[in-house]
């Protein structure tokens, strides 16, 4: 008999529609921080978000999605960005929301960025893992990706997996994000009460504006519209490729994941026994790390 996870794969993969987004004019809407802090440039190919002492800025995708592969190229705030956070994430709405997060924590000039990741299911988060990057993310654009399919959520940096959150709902009844449609969000905002060295380093407003840049957003995903997922459509273009729906890590991917977690992981909630004196969260038993 097929496992519950494989039944989910079969159900969702049976008939899919996808979207490939590439123009910010048609794909996103600015949600806060007007007065020129959010700018779409180069005929929709480039977007910038800025933070100054008066306000940050942010956007969200026009579409909602239910499962997919999402890529965005970002160039993070350069120089002394201590106290700032650049957030790029998927989220649904409401108190029991689902959310899949990248948050890039600013730093003093010359120090490495910390990539903060988290996963919320049914309103419950506290599943933080943090990593250093193995390059300077302010010098050029790099690709940050979410894979969200019935098997797991994977976080990628330049196609290298850095984190896996498996679907443990069939086996140990940990809720998995599978029913609530989510939008892509991003923002640049001030968090100097916690972002850099636990809030010890404050934002230097003489360095403002703090600007992050975006390009090449792609969503190969099921679009949610008027309460219906395009995954339920009976129409499937013969030329489409939906390998992301059943994508798992091969041996090379597992090796790369272990390499990142061994060499660049800063914090893992599944190793924090002081934080969870009554026992680690149950999903830690199947989300093994290096």
Identify the pLDDT of residue 1. 39
Say if residues 56 and 32 touch (Cβ distance below 8 Å): yes
**Alpha-carbon span 70 to 47, nearest angstrom:** 17
Identify the pLDDT of residue 233. 58
Q: Which two tokens stand for residue 260?
A: 């990142």
Say if residues 126 and 261 touch (Cβ distance below 8 Å): no
Is residue 64 part of the annotated active site? The answer reads: no
Q: To the nearest whole percent, how much of the chain has pLDDT over 90?
A: 77
Q: Which two tokens stand for residue 247?
A: 């994508």
Q: Which two tokens stand for residue 148?
A: 């969200």
Q: Residues 3-15: what's their mean pLDDT?
A: 37
Name the catalytic one among 99, 128, 164, 283.
Answer: 99
| 3-state secondary structure (DSSP) of residue 243 | helix
Candidates 2.60.120.200, 3.90.950.10, 2.40.50.70, 2.60.40.10; CATH matching 4-285: 2.60.120.200
Q: How is the chain split into domains, by residue range?
A: 4-285
Is residue 99 part of the annotated active site? The answer reads: yes
Name the catalytic one among 103, 128, 169, 283.
Answer: 103
What's the start-to-end Cα distance of the chain, in Å? 32
Does the pLDDT of residue 11 top 70, yes or no?
Answer: no
Identify the pLDDT of residue 7. 36
Query: pTM score > 0.85 for this model?
Result: yes
């Amino acid at each position: 008999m097929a496992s519950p996870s494989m039944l989910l794969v079969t159900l969702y993969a049976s008939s899919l529609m996808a979207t490939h987004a590439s123009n910010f004019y048609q794909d996103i809407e600015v949600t806060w921080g007007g007065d020129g802090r959010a700018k779409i440039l180069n005929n929709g190919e480039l977007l910038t978000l800025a933070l100054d002492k008066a306000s940050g800025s942010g956007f969200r995708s026009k579409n909602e999605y239910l499962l997919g592969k999402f890529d965005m190229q970002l160039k993070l705030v350069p120089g002394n960005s201590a106290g700032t956070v650049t957030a790029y994430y998927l989220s649904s709405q409401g108190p029991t929301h689902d959310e899949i997060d990248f948050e890039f924590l600013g730093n003093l000039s010359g120090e490495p960025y910390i990539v903060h990741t988290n996963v919320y299911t049914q309103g419950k988060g506290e599943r933080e893992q943090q990593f250093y990057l193995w390059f300077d993310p302010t010098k050029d654009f790099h690709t940050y990706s979410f894979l969200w399919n019935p098997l797991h959520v994977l976080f990628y940096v330049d196609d290298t997996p850095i984190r896996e959150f498996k679907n443990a709902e069939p086996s140990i009844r940990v809720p998995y994000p599978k029913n609530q449609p989510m939008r892509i969000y991003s923002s640049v905002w001030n968090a100097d009460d916690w972002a850099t060295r636990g809030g010890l380093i404050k934002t230097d407003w003489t360095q403002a504006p703090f600007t992050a840049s975006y390009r090449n957003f792609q969503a190969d995903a099921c679009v949610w519209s008027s309460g219906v997922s395009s995954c339920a459509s009976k129409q499937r273009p013969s030329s489409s490729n939906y390998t992301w729906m059943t994508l798992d890590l091969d041996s090379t991917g597992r090796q790369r994941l272990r390499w990142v977690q061994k060499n660049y992981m800063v914090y893992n909630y599944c190793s924090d026994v002081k934080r969870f004196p009554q026992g680690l969260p149950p999903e830690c038993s199947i989300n093994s790390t290096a």
